Structure 1
Amino acid sequence: MNMRSLSLAALTMLDVPPPEQIRIAAQTGFTHVGLRLLPATPDDPDYDMLGDTAMVRETLAALQETGIRVSDVEILRLTPDFNLPSLRPFLETAARFDAQQVLVAGNDDHLARCAENLAQLAQAGKAYGLTMNLEPMPWTALKTLRDAQTLIAASGQSNIGILVDAIHFWRAGESLSTLSSIPAAQLNYMQLCDAPAKSPETTEELIYQARSARKIPGEGGLDLHGLLAALPAALPVSIEVPLAGKQGALPAQRRAQLLFNAAQSFL
């Protein structure tokens, strides 16, 4: 029996506004969504998702209308110029959506500074019922699961998770045995996708594939069954699959349905 909840990630539906993403999730079988409150890059759409905006109110209405819940919000970055006060609107809005998990990227190679900023962020999150989750990505300063563990230890905080994303996990050269070193309490959700087994040869292609051209689970060459078997049986799954080409040109609801259906054999 499937014990995992299934969430439709923001990156999968970045071309539609959050209220539409929520309605699509409800229509295609998902129980949760991940919402992007801050754009990840200058090229991403900004849906005005901080504070008491019209879009925030419309998103709240869609959640109430459908019964869909928010699994996670994104994206916060640990950068050299990290400024916690500027992130208060993000934390407040995340709490308003009744989110519990926050995706955090590591973009600072100065360990002590990054750890101090992470500690401040984790402590601030507690007041809003939010847990920070570090996502290792091979082109960032935080490349591997070990990097995430080192940063958490240096922060001195215990309420910080590690987010395993299938494509980043395999592209970073991780092995399934490394997952056994992560305490179950640090695993709050994972991101599922597929990709070609062969890694891209350049960083530019690596980033493009991760942000824009992943594959439907089962249509690539990643060991998804092995990865999920190595993770806790009830760990929530977020489907993060930005598609390119003909599949990417399909209507958003059709894409979501394809992904929901494909995910079933891995749960």
Structure 2
Amino acid sequence: MNTRSLSLAALTMLDVPPPEQVRIAAETGFTHVGLRLLPATPTDPDYDMLGDTATVRETLAALRETGVRVSDVEIVRLTPDFNLDALRPFLETSARLEARQVLVAGNDDNITRCAQNLARLAQAGKQYGLTMNLEPMPWTALKTVRDAQRLITASGQNNVGILVDAIHFWRAGESLTTLADIPAAQLNYMQLCDAPAQIPDTTDELIYQARSARKVPGEGGLDLRGLLAALPATIPVSLEVPLAGAQGALPAQQRAQLLFNAAQSFL
């Protein structure tokens, strides 16, 4: 029996605006969506998702009409010049969308400063009912699950989780045994995708695969079944699968349906 909810992640549908993403999610069987309120890179589309904008209002209308819920919002980066005040519109909009989980990337090599900023972010998030989730990525300062655990401990906060993304987990050379040490309360959702088993030789290729050329679950070489078995049986699953090639050229709804159907055997 499937006890995991399934969300359509923002990166999977980055080419369509959030209101359309919500409707596509509903039409293809997803119960949740992940929304990107802040662009992750300078080349990402900016859909004007902060504050009382037309896109935010249209997204809220789509959520009401379809019954789809927001699983998570992104992306906050813990950088050396982290500015909490600048994030207030993000936090307010996240709460308005009734999100509960926030994706956080660690982009600061100074763990003391990074932990202090994470603590401030987590404390601010409590006011909005938001939990922060650190996503280890092998090309960032926060590379592994252990790195995330150390940062959470240093922050002293209890509303910070760890987001396990299948491609990042295996690309970082992680072991499933490390997941046993993570308290269930810190595992709020995970991101599912597939990729070639061979780890890329260069950082550029590592990033390219992660951002633009993942594989449909079951069509790559990652141990997805082992990963899911090592995580809580009820952990929500977010399908984060930016596709390339012929599959990536499919219309957004067809891509979403392809991924939804493929994910069923893993849930």
TM-score by length of 1: 1.00
State how far apart, in whole Å, the 2-side matches of 1:111 and 1:257 are: 41
State how far apart, in whole Å, the 2-side matches of 1:159 and 1:240 are: 23
Corresponding residue SS for 1:81: coil
Aligned residue identity for 1:214:
R
Match of 2:234 in 1: 234
Residue-pair matches, total: 267
State how far apart, in whole Å, the 2-side matches of 1:142 and 1:109 are: 8
State how far apart, in whole Å, the 2-side matches of 1:122 and 1:34 are: 19
Aligned residue identity for 2:245:
G
Match of 1:117 in 2: 117
State how far apart, in whole Å, the 1-side matches of 2:94 and 2:31 are: 18
Corresponding residue SS for 1:201: coil
Corresponding residue SS for 2:132: strand
Aligned ranges for residues 175-186 of structure 1 at < 5 Å? 175-186=175-186
Corresponding residue SS for 2:243: coil
**Contiguous gaps of at least 5 residues in structure 2:** none
Q: How far does residue 182 in structure 1 lie from its aligned partner after superposition?
A: 0.5
Aligned residue identity for 1:148:
A
Q: 1:190-224 CA distances to partner (integer Å, 9 max, x unpaired)? A: 00000000011100000000000000000000000
Match of 1:5 in 2: 5
Q: 1:170-203 CA distances to partner (integer Å, 9 max, x unpaired)? A: 0000011110010101000000000000011100
Match of 1:41 in 2: 41
State how far apart, in whole Å, the 1-side matches of 2:86 and 2:39 are: 15
Corresponding residue SS for 1:153: helix
- Poorly superposed stretches of 4+, deviation over 3 Å: none
**Contiguous gaps of at least 5 residues in structure 1:** none
State how far apart, in whole Å, the 1-side matches of 2:159 and 2:89 are: 21
1:202 partnered with 2:202: yes
Q: How far does residue 159 in structure 1 lie from its aligned partner after superposition?
A: 1.2
Corresponding residue SS for 1:151: helix
Match of 2:128 in 1: 128
State how far apart, in whole Å, the 2-side matches of 1:222 and 1:146 are: 20
Match of 1:19 in 2: 19
State how far apart, in whole Å, the 2-side matches of 1:245 and 1:201 are: 21
Q: How far does residue 158 in structure 1 lie from its aligned partner after superposition?
A: 1.3
Aligned ranges for residues 1-267 of structure 1 at < 5 Å? 1-267=1-267
TM-score by length of 2: 1.00
Aligned residue identity for 2:183:
P
State how far apart, in whole Å, the 2-side matches of 1:83 and 1:256 are: 35
